[in-house]
């Protein structure tokens, strides 16, 4: 019994999304992407696929088995990570979508994201170092002065140094308004930073000679709350003579402890201490007291990255379960009466197909959602028309919390089903599904928990501008319904989706009224349920778009036909089993049901 090699992602599915569902080559008509065509997209995809499968994936198990060590004040990572970091940089992972002026390829983010998903599926910890580095460099590219760009950004984009997000503090958690790290001005122009941070991914390691922490702190005398937080670049080591003179010297940044994680075990999560000796130099990025606004650029990019990681982690587990189910013999078909008949692969059993189809619906719906969100980011930044850029930005803002959450929450369920398909082998460490399940759980927490994403979606994004983003989403869904009708998709699917989107609009208006009356608690009481409601509808939109493209492919005689039939079957599953749930979710949100709102701590 030998299962086929795990492909990580389905190549045909990725090509389908890029070229049949989203028509990514249309971006090449925009000046920013004018040097690209499908040929350059495919070249980058093929390079990432090959590296992910042949080089990166074999490192996953040993890296998971031997996490980083914190010894003698520093962190040592698995040697395999050192072997793959530079080749990943050489692939262009750090800078693929960035401008040529900073060493980038100006590749559409939608292409870079799907190509990167292969790498994430192969070894998400290795990708984590580079994803954080790109985010840090992009922050400095956007908000930093020329000195910071020359000193930090160029080295980050070159892969010589890595970057982090140093936001969270022990006493504050996700409440960035309660950041207490301090920054004192100096006559030399830098700031002296002092404070503690926790859960800093990649905060120390021996992969590169330096690490640049994009750090939130308060300048002395700053106003309280969010409006008093500034952003600083704080290197682990600083040039002896600022900005680039002499050797690198310690910058009073120390590791205070390591968090021992259940997943993402190759990427250390650390407690960090800044300025215990009074000599931690920080360099202001952007304007004073504008740190949160600037940091949201990196945070929103990271949220989409988490969604991509979650989709990739669900995908690699689904592919493993599918390969196993195709070759694992056990039992006979229902109704078989000959006890000596050969056993059949477990994929022949209906309940196994149920589990596989649910995984397929979640995985491929998640990948489509991530790709759509990345395409919107491309259009928001580079569309030729200002109105089109604004519309894309509204949709991007609306979809970001959904793109972060759905692949992680439903991906965890999908990962659990992959383990279940393996039966007793699934819960053994000799098989990989248990490791991917551990990895996936972290994605529901990374970059803002599901509860935080629900508050963001309902409390800000859905009601912003009088619901302008929801109206834009409704228009996109109507376009998808029209395409599906022309393609010959089951008409009831479009009707159900249109009704479900109207229901989302009605529920949003109902809850917004409570907020306008000053009852914010009532408005947001079921924000997590609202997030699930909206996510279910948004993914139905993705499945209708894929069903339309599948019908178009079948009508054109494209091959393989079985690929398109599988898409239509998965779409049927979503519309038959998931979309009907929106009515109950909508009723719950409307009702204001208050069991957990009125539950007192002493009653638990």
Q: Which two tokens stand for residue 576?
A: 């038959």
Q: Which phi and psi (to 5°) does residue 194 adopt? A: -145, 130
Query: How wide is the angle at C-alpha 293 spanned by C-alphas 290 and 296, nearest 5°?
Result: 140
Residues 111-121 as b or e (16 or more Cβ within 10 Å = b): bbbbbbbbbbb
Who contacts 350 (Cβ-Cβ below 8 Å, separation ≥6)? 334
For helices 350-382 and 109-122, give the axis angle rounded to 10 degrees.
140
- Short-list 309, 197, 206, CA closest to 259: 197
Count CB atoms within 10 A of the CB of residue 530. 26
Residue 94's H or E segment, with its range, is none
Q: Is the peptide bond before 513 cis (omega within 30 degrees of 0)?
A: no
Instruction: Provide the CA 304 distance to its chain's centre, in angstroms.
Output: 4
Q: Is residue 476 annotated as a catalytic residue, yes or no?
A: no
What does the alpha-carbon distance between residue 395 and residue 476 come to, in Å, rounded to a whole number?
Answer: 10
Phi, psi (rounded to 5 degrees) for 347: -65, -20
How far from the centroid of its chain's Cα atoms is residue 29's Cα?
27
Contact 382, 33 (CB under 8 A): yes
Q: Which two tokens stand for residue 334?
A: 């229902």
Contact 53, 7 (CB under 8 A): yes
Number of helices (H) and strands (E) in the chain: give both, helices first.
20, 12
| 330 vs 178: CA distance, rounded Å | 57
Q: Which residues contact 184 (CB under 8 A, 6 or more apart)?
A: 191, 192, 194, 219, 220
Q: Coil, helix or strand for 273?
A: strand
Residue in 583, 592, 399 with CA at minimum distance from that of residue 500: 583
Burial of 595 (0-12, 13-18, 19+ CB in 10 A): exposed
> How far is the C-alpha of 311 from the C-alpha of 440, rounded, in Å?
9
Q: Report d(CA 399, CA 186) in Å as an integer.
A: 42
Q: Which of 447, 476, 552, 578 is catalytic?
A: 447
Does residue 282 contact residue 193 with C-beta atoms inside 8 Å? yes
b/e burial code for range 307-317 (CB count within 10 A of at least 16 → b): bbbbbbbbbbb
3-class DSSP state of 198:
strand
From the list 565, 504, 507, the residue with the least C-alpha distance to 539 is 504
Strands 281-284, 191-201: pairing kind: antiparallel
- 493 within 8 A of 544, measured Cβ to Cβ: yes
Q: Name the residues annotated as catalytic.
A: 447
């Amino acid at each position: 019994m030998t299962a086929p090699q795990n492909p990580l992602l389905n190549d045909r599915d990725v090509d389908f999304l890029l070229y049949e569902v989203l028509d990514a080559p249309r971006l090449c008509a925009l000046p920013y992407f004018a040097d690209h065509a499908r040929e350059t997209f495919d070249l980058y995809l093929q390079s990432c696929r090959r590296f992910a499968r042949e080089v990166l994936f074999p490192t996953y198990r040993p890296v998971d088995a031997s996490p980083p060590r914190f010894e003698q004040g520093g962190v040592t990572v698995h040697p395999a990570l050192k072997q793959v970091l530079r080749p990943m940089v050489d692939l262009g992972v750090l800078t693929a979508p960035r401008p040529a002026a900073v060493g980038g390829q100006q590749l559409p983010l939608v292409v870079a994201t799907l190509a990167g998903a292969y790498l994430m599926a192969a070894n998400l910890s290795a990708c984590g170092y580079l994803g954080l580095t790109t985010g840090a460099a992009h922050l400095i590219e956007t908000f930093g002065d020329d000195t910071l760009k020359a000193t930090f950004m160029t080295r980050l984009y070159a892969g010589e140094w890595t970057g982090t997000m140093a936001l969270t503090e022990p006493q504050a958690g996700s409440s960035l308004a309660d950041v207490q790290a301090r920054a004192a001005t100096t006559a030399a122009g830098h700031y002296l930073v002092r404070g503690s941070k926790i859960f800093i991914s990649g905060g120390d390691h021996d992969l590169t000679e330096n690490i640049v922490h994009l750090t939130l702190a308060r300048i002395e005398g700053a106003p309280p709350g969010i409006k008093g937080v500034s952003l600083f670049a704080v290197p682990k080591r600083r040039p002896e003579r600022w900005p680039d003179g002499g050797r690198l010297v310690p910058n009073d940044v120390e590791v205070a402890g390591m968090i021992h994680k259940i997943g993402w075990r190759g990427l250390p999560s650390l407690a960090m201490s800044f300025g215990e000796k009074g000599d931690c130099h920080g360099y202001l990025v952007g304007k004073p007291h504008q740190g949160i606004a600037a940091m949201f650029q990196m945070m929103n990019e990271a949220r989409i990255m988490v969604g991509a990681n979650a989709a990739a982690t669900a995908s690699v587990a689904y592919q493993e379960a599918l390969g196993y189910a195709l070759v694992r013999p056990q039992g006979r078909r229902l109704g078989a009466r000959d006890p000596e008949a050969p056993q059949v692969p477990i994929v022949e059993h209906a309940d196994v197909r149920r589990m596989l189809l649910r995984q397929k619906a979640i995985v491929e719906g998640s990948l489509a959602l991530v790709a759509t969100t990345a395409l919107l980011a491309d259009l928001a930044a580079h569309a030729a028309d200002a109105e089109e850029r604004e519309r894309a930005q509204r949709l991007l803002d609306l979809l970001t919390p959904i793109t972060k959450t759905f692949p992680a929450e439903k991906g965890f369920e999908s990962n659990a089903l992959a383990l279940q398909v393996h039966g007793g082998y699934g819960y053994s460490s000799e098989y990989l599904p248990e490791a991917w399940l551990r990895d996936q759980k972290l994605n529901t927490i990374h970059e803002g928990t599901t509860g935080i994403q629900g508050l963001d979606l309902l409390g800000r994004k859905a009601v912003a501008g009088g619901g302008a983003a929801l109206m834009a989403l409704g228009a996109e869904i109507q376009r998808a319904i029209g395409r599906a009708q022309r393609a010959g998709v089951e008409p009831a699917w479009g009707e159900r989706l249109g009704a479900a989107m109207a229901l989302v609009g009605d529920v949003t208006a109902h809850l917004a009224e409570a907020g306008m009356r000053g009852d914010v608690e009532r408005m947001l009481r079921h924000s997590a349920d609202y997030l699930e409601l909206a996510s279910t509808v948004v993914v139905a939109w993705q499945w209708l778009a894929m069903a339309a493209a599948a019908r178009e492919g079948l009508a054109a005689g494209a091959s393989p036909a079985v690929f398109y039939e599988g898409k239509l079957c998965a779409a049927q599953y979503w519309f038959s089993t998931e979309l009907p749930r929106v009515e109950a979710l909508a009723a719950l949100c409307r009702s204001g049901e208050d069991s957990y709102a009125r539950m007192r701590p002493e009653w638990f």
